[in-house]
Structure 1
């Protein structure tokens, strides 16, 4: 088993080393998907051991894409769904976009275009959130592929030409090779042989340079189709044999199955009926297994989505319960605080002169006292001595609790000043003494108060 072999070679002791192994694995997604799986599984084991969600997200994405490359959709789908879930937990929209795009690729290959388009559009949404222009280009290419599979060849070419230009500028040769192949395939379907050959030749050249086995296989096979269409049967046969060999080396049974069907037609055209029958039998056997696998993939994907939806619903329910509990705690604390402030209001009101006291000394008056908050930063004060009435209306700095504290200090200041009154004290002396006492109470200098 590949994972066991690579476990002997790779030692991981830190989260940084997990990231490094995942990065090394990802580079191999097109050139060596089997080795990728081995490395990614090592990173996954260590991530599980350390509870490292980022490591799990990238590991599942890597294995999902590797299985997709090899046409093993029933293995690819659950891994990509798990990858998407971990990326979203981490608020990594770029990673989530990548996982969703590859899920869309699976549904495209299964010809479930409506679901493919759904995943592509969500992938674009996340790519835009993360400002990942390269990912947006990838998804647009995939949408072009859907148009191709629907038979809208020129529309597909138009979409892909824009993607090709962007990928050339980005220097992504794997993507360039893939898009060149798709454009060439569209031209071949539209019977534009010259344009098809031009794009397919360049796609094969780049794939060979990169040792991109899937690109090599599909380019050989499609060039073989081109030569078969134009009557060059020997050339077609040779190219298709190379193509099926590359596909089998990669374990890309889907490409291999379609190639055997094409080889059957070529052999029949050349009069090799026994070979034609053998190739058709190979095609039928592979196709039958693939159909069973595709059905299982669809069922697995649906079950995966149902399980994920249940998990997300459960998570949401738990979060709602946590919010309800937090709200209840805050509500209780708020009630305690409010009750305390209301009690403080009673204390503050008790400091105000009562109406029956005022009525003994003043006949024609009214009081309008309305605090902005529960407690007030304003107050009125009244007292009398020897037939003289003393009153003050005070606006303290601040509202609510801070203002209320200041108002109590102000009240105490007035009371003490009143107690110190001597014969002949005028209003100015009263105010100055009150200010002096107030500053002493709050330890504030005259300069601070100006």
Structure 2
């Protein structure tokens, strides 16, 4: 179960509890409120309507830019009121909380923090308990999003304490439930149970079956993390029983998937099939594409474990078909939206051009009329000239104003495009793993310099038991095309290791080649030839045995070892400063492209203490610069790595950046750059 999804679920639940919102999937309610806002003259009533619009938009759509617009407009009107009594301050707290909530859901955390603190301080000034609780719960969610769990839990504890003081038992129950969830996901089972028991007591006293169901489900997740599968089954079954009683088909769909996943882990594939089929039935009934895909994926995995490869392939193909359906649906919606936007903008441009032409035509007619009057009225020549000059200047100002407006529109469109790419950068950044996965075991660094806003290079980390995997990948192209390829590569690597349980680096690359060709191969069926792919180096270290396994597609691995240590059964590329430089060659064939059918080789090396490993893309060596504007080259790159071996890992990173900046000078960056260094301690 995804941690962030759980936080969002809790966040939405508590807002509903405190504000009394009801989810109504009816757009006519929004239309009615917008019409009411357009005709309402009273300022305070306008503010109330804006808050209602925020609530309706929030409850019925995921258009958080629109909820932000309504909340900001309400807050702006409230700030303009001079006499701010308790009633106005309460509205300010509500609107500031709404603004902070919108920024939170748009992942703009600094702005969200600013407005949520404003909401809390305003509520505290008038001792408005419900508004204080809203702000506290949202602040706890904000810090959980940012990975600052300790601070998030601190705000949760304040909310729980305030709920109990004010007698708001339902709010306190949600607070305890959220604390339990946080600790279950942190694998701190004993501490989670303290909060779980408190939340369960409240849930039973309130007879809140929904909360009890959530608590049972979270406890099951905590037990799965401890591999206590039999106990986890018990609490998943309790969750299912409650959701059946509540006729909660949405919840049951997820319950069945969760319990099926436990049975898969227990190798009880008959039960796993039973519950995946139950989930699939509900998902098909609700046309829930994501749940349909998850059910098919689970069925494929069960049949694969049972050795029924034909069935496994059948459900894997169904999974792929539904994935394509989701992709096509999202594309169709995006294309329709862009077409509508284009048609609207085109019509506006044509209207503006027509107005400009009409203004020019009118200026020409007036000019001719003025000339005729000048011929007829010789005595009034001076006056006519003055009139003509003044009139012409006014016409020119109008034309210039129209042209300036057009330029502003063009600039705004350019800004929209740039903003969209910046948003894509945030999405791409969100999938990149935290280096803490590697740093908790070894000293390491990542030098990551995209050429454009988004990148075709990426790095990947995954810890599986005693093994830790790490990789540097260079996708075809850079910018937006490269970023799309990087998402395909990142998701495929996760799936190969987590879902397919492939462990050898060479086998991982074989499967990655199959997956990439499968994704891109659909274009060949349409008469197109796809040569896109990726170069990659991937390593796996067994932390217990210190055995390194490596495989590469066009990207080699560099290993640097002190000369006095045991030498490798490899040719030394160079030796300086008491360090031996070894290059472990990759297979000279890329991932993807559809041509390579050979298998990738896995190299095995016994690591020594203070060995240093480097993985890299070609961006550093291929960068033009220096006094003659030539490429940096791999020979110089190897010498640079040798020269910095006495430096700490942190200072090695600084030296790489310093060297690249100096070498590049005023020249543009040629390609994305990614270098990873790992020192064995």
TM-score normalised according to structure 1 size: 0.46
Structure of higher RCO (CA pairs closer than 8 Å, 6+ residues apart): 1
- Larger of the two Rg values belongs to structure: 1
- Write 1 or 2 for the structure with the bigger share of helix: 1
TM-score normalised according to structure 2 size: 0.33
